[in-house]
């Protein structure tokens, strides 16, 4: 079975308060349908339905302090309790201690070593690579893990050829914000269908959606609501296109956007939303209570080991 991991940066399970939580305010009918009328809120988990499972999992993994991006993402990719091992949460970009875990121990590295196909489905614009090459930009945990595994990051040509998706799913950001007018643009539903289609070509694929964390830090309620409503359109296309051989995981590294009363990360648990075959979901979520359980669960499903 194949696994598509959609990483929503900085989204926790918050209170049902439209004044502070865009996930309580956004209109997300496709998500609601998957969860039998529930929303992505604290009081919705635990839920097990015919099409989806929603768990509440601990991004701090029992370590004191607010969860941070570098260690949270590294935990998701390795299954190691890195904050416990190094003694602290760290982010946003990995320091040398965190980076050491992202070289040879990640899902991407293990897939390559065992002959499985793994990929990061995001395309990166030319200015990103210019920043990396010049030393002015550092890799975050996910692209660092990908490149350390010997997997190339997708570029503009890959986006234009339909081999990858832009960070906003639709391509509009490349046109409007990056000033690349020839970028192909699709609506969210079409983007969701494309995402599922691409994921079927790999054993393990990951898509990173970082705009949610940015909106949270900027306390941009209207932007956050728009992002989540667009993501709901992606879910509709994803559901229409996926088959029983694809399991979809949606989770995060820490809370943030669910509480617009603060610019800081939160101590909220994060969602583990799993979509697909019910038996596969039961196996995947077995014993899942914090971020360290995600990588082993993905590995079990992709390889069939430990079932």
3-state secondary structure 224-237: HHHHHHHHHHHHHH
Helix, strand or coil, per DSSP, at residue 257: coil
Rounded mean pLDDT of 233-259? 97
The mean per-residue pLDDT over the stretch 110-125 comes to 97
Residue 218 per-residue DSSP state:
H
- Report pLDDT for 306: 53
Total structural domains within the chain: 1
For residue 305, the model assigns a pLDDT of: 75
Q: What is the pLDDT of residues 195-232, one digit of tens each?
A: 999 999 999 999 999 999 889 999 999 999 999 999 99
- Mean per-residue pLDDT, 142-155: 98
Domain ranges, residue 156: 2-303
Give the pLDDT score at 240. Answer: 96
Question: Helix, strand, or coil here: 97?
Answer: helix
* pLDDT (tens digit per residue) in 45-81: 999 999 999 999 999 999 999 999 999 999 999 999 9
Percent of the chain with pLDDT over 70: 99
The candidate with the shortest Cα–Cα distance to 55, out of 303, 287, 292, is 287
| For range 112-129, the mean pLDDT | 97
With contact defined as beta carbons under 8 Å apart, do 205 and 118 qualify? Answer: yes
Q: Cis ω on the peptide bond leading into residue 46 (within 30° of 0)?
A: yes
> In this structure, what token pair is assigned to residue 190?
């079409």
The pLDDT of residue 307: 45
For residue 70, give the CATH number of its domain: 3.40.720.10
pLDDT of residue 295 exceeding 60: yes
């Amino acid at each position: 079975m194949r696994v598509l991991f959609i990483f929503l940066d900085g989204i926790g399970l918050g209170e049902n308060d439209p004044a502070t939580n865009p996930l309580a305010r956004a209109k997300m009918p496709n998500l609601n349908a998957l969860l039998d009328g529930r929303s992505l809120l604290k009081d919705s988990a635990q839920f097990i339905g015919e099409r989806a499972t929603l768990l509440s999992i601990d991004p701090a993994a029992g370590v004191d302090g607010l969860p941070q991006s570098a260690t949270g993402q590294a935990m998701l990719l390795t299954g190691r309790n890195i904050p416990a091992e190094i003694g602290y949460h760290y982010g946003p970009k990995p320091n040398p201690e965190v980076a050491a875990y992202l070289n040879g121990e990640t899902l991407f590295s293990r897939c390559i070593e065992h002959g499985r196909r793994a990929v990061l489905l995001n395309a990166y614009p030319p200015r990103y690579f210019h920043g990396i090459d010049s030393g002015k930009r550092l890799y975050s945990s996910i692209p660092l893990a990908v490149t350390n595994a010997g997997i190339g990051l997708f570029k503009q040509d890959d986006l234009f050829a339909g081999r990858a998706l832009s960070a906003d799913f639709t391509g509009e950001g490349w046109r409007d914000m990056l000033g690349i007018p020839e970028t192909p643009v699709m609506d969210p539903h079409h983007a969701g269908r494309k995402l599922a289609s691409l994921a079927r070509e790999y054993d393990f694929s990951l898509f990173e959606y970082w705009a949610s964390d940015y909106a949270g830090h900027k306390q941009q309620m209207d932007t956050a609501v728009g992002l989540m409503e667009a993501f709901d359109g992606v879910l509709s296309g994803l559901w229409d296109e996926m088959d029983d051989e694809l399991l979809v995981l949606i989770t995060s590294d820490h809370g943030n956007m669910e509480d617009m009363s603060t610019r800081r990360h939160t101590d909220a648990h994060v969602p583990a939303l799993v979509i697909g075959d019910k038996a596969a979901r039961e196996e995947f979520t077995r014993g899942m209570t914090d971020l360290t359980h995600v990588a082993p669960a993905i590995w079990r499903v992709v390889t069939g080991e430990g079932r």
